[in-house]
């Protein structure tokens, strides 16, 4: 899975969003993509597993 695949996951959850930052991080030996996005009055961040594409966490601000 690459950055464009991760962006597509975010866009499937929040269509029309602007993807701000995508970075691959490692935390205690586990890798995850951290994606920041905005859509109108909504801003958020998602953590996505790079092997499976499963959304690990969502942070949404209205």
**Residue 29 has what pLDDT?**
85
pLDDT at 18 over 90: yes
* pLDDT, average across residues 18-40: 93
Domains and CATH numbers, the chain: 3-61 (3.10.450.40)
Give the C-alpha distances (Å, rounded to integers) separating 39 from 1, 31, 54. 24, 26, 21
Residue 6 in 3-state DSSP?
helix
Rg (alpha carbons) of the chain, rounded to whole number: 11
Alpha-carbon torsion, ordered 42, 35, 26, 1, to 10 deg: 140
**Residue 35 has what pLDDT?**
96
């Amino acid at each position: 899975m690459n950055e464009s695949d991760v962006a597509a996951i975010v866009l499937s959850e929040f269509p029309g969003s602007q993807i701000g930052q995508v970075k691959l991080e490692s935390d205690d030996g586990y890798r995850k993509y951290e994606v920041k996005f905005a859509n109108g009055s909504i801003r958020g961040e998602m953590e996505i597993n790079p092997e499976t594409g499963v959304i690990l966490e969502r942070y949404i601000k209205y």
